[in-house]
């Protein structure tokens, strides 16, 4: 009888250890976006693929525009924008100035966000980390993992 109790205790301990060590595949809690849109007349055009996008900025304002390389990726679900969870990633802490009627572009790495599901996305960029001064570059990933961006119409 004692031997059976020991065997049962070992089996239960093994089960508890294996259960506590298993990795959970819980879906991430998606956080809705709460950011303001920049007030300058800046046009954004996006090209790329599901690994990286290049955003072309056109300053249509009368004043120079100052922007940084910080960015976030967001997705649209049921009419609400959410942050795409990511691994840690780094950006250059550089400031740029774009004179009126001038163009510039930056390329943003999408690999820290993993495989993107089909849907509507946008890069929140230009604000230098300032949540009240973002500009958005929109794109779509199809069911066949094809990239559809926006190109300049000029």
Instruction: Report the run of H or E that residue 74 belongs to, with start and end.
Output: strand 71-77
Residue with tokens 């910080």: 70
pLDDT score of 133 = 76
Over its length of 154 residues, how does the chain's per-residue pLDDT go in tens digits?
666 545 455 555 555 455 544 444 444 578 888 777 888 899 999 999 889 999 999 999 999 999 888 889 999 999 999 999 988 887 778 888 999 999 999 999 999 999 999 999 999 988 655 566 789 999 999 999 899 998 765 4
Domain extents for the chain? Answer: 42-148
* 42-148 CATH fold: Immunoglobulin-like (2.60.40)
Answer whether 95's CB lies under 8 Å from 68's CB: yes
pLDDT score of 127 = 67
pLDDT score of 91 = 77
Instruction: Give phi and psi for 46, each to the nearest 5.
Output: -130, 135
pLDDT score of 29 = 72
Residue with tokens 């990795």: 23
């Amino acid at each position: 009888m004692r031997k059976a109790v020991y065997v049962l205790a070992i089996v239960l301990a093994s089960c508890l250890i294996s259960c506590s060590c298993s990795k959970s595949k819980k879906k991430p809690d998606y956080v809705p976006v709460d950011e303001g849109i920049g007030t300058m007349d800046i046009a954004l055009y996006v090209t790329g693929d599901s690994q990286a996008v290049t955003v072309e900025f056109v300053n249509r304002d009368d004043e120079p525009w100052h922007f940084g390389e910080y960015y976030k990726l967001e997705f649209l679900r049921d009419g609400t924008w959410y942050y795409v969870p990511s691994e840690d990633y780094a950006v250059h802490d550089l400031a740029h100035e774009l004179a009126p009627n001038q163009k510039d572009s930056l390329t943003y790495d999408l690999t820290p966000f993993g495989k993107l599901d089909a849907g509507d996305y946008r890069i929140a960029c230009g604000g230098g980390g300032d949540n009240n001064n973002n500009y958005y570059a929109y794109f779509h990933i199809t069911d066949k993992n094809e990239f559809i961006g926006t190109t300049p119409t000029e």
